[in-house]
Amino acid sequence: MELAIYNIKGEDTGRKAVLNDQVFAIEANEHAVYLDVKQYLANQRQGTHKSKERSEVSGSTRKLHKQKGGGGSRIGDINSPVLVGGGRVFGPRPRDYRFKLNKKLKQLARKSALTVKVQENQIKIVEDFTFDAPKTKDFVNFTKNFKLEGQKVLLVLAGQDKNVYLSARNVPGARIMTASDLNTYSLLNNKAIILTESGLDVVNKF
């Protein structure tokens, strides 16, 4: 499979980039994608939620009235969950939401996401570039050249580029990522994926 290579101005250079069919043209596995996205989102959860239970709320443990003979319902202390201000029954406790997935399954999910993006014509290849200085305006112009202004755009580089990262930092919906950090959630969560030529070389080896 081949895709046209564009320059930073959004113009077709006339050259073609070769995409590895083992990465960009596989049979997409939806369940693998589901599991990988589920794991990614679960790993983002802090799990610090906590509510006070009966033994933890502040209040006397004295029985409010005798068990029988009062003509009313039986009741214990003021910390009872059935009373306003009482403890919560089976409330949330701090926990770790992370879970493990096999490496090959995560690779399959990532390749499936790349395949879907190619099929939907949401991947573009651009020549390697950098900015002379960090300027938000330069990155905004870059997205306009590809008619992607106002959309969620993921730019995939081969390595870290401080000027490009700082230029895109304040642009709503824009995200910069190195090819080695690419994951299924980031691929699916962005409308357009722009790969630099050197970034594509890394992705082709997935």
Q: Token pair of 161, please?
A: 């580029």
Maximum CA extent, the chain:
94
What's the rounded mean pLDDT across residues 44-48?
95
pLDDT-based confidence at residue 103 (cuts at 50, 70, 90): very high
The residue extents of the domains of the chain are 2-29+102-203, 46-96
Query: Percent of the chain having pLDDT more than 70?
Result: 100
Residue pair 103/175 in contact by the 8 Å Cβ criterion: no
- The alpha carbon dihedral of 158, 162, 168, 169 has a sign of positive
pLDDT at 168: 92
Q: What CATH code is assigned to 2-29+102-203?
A: 3.40.1370.10
Taking 90 as the threshold, does the pLDDT of residue 107 lie above it?
yes
What's the rounded mean pLDDT across residues 95-116?
95
Taking 90 as the threshold, does the pLDDT of residue 58 lie above it?
yes
Kindly report the pTM of this predicted structure.
0.81
Annotate 96-135 with b (16+ C-beta within 10 A) or e (fewer). Answer: eeeeeeeeeebebbbbbbbbbbbeeeebbbbeeeebeebe
pLDDT at 19: 92
Query: What is the SS3 assignment for 45-101?
Result: CCCCCCCCCCCCCCCCCCCCCCCCCCCCCCCCCCCCCCCCCCCCCCCCCCCCCCCCC
What's the rounded mean pLDDT across residues 137-154?
91
What's the rounded mean pLDDT across residues 151-170?
92
Q: Token pair of 172, please?
A: 């709503």
Instruction: Give the whole-angstrom CA distance, residue 145 versus residue 166.
Output: 19
What's the rounded mean pLDDT across residues 27-45?
96
pLDDT at 96: 96
pLDDT at 159: 87
- Residue 123 pairs with which residues in a beta bridge? 193
Taking 90 as the threshold, does the pLDDT of residue 39 lie above it?
yes
Taking 90 as the threshold, does the pLDDT of residue 2 lie above it?
no
pLDDT at 149: 86
Taking 90 as the threshold, does the pLDDT of residue 206 lie above it?
no
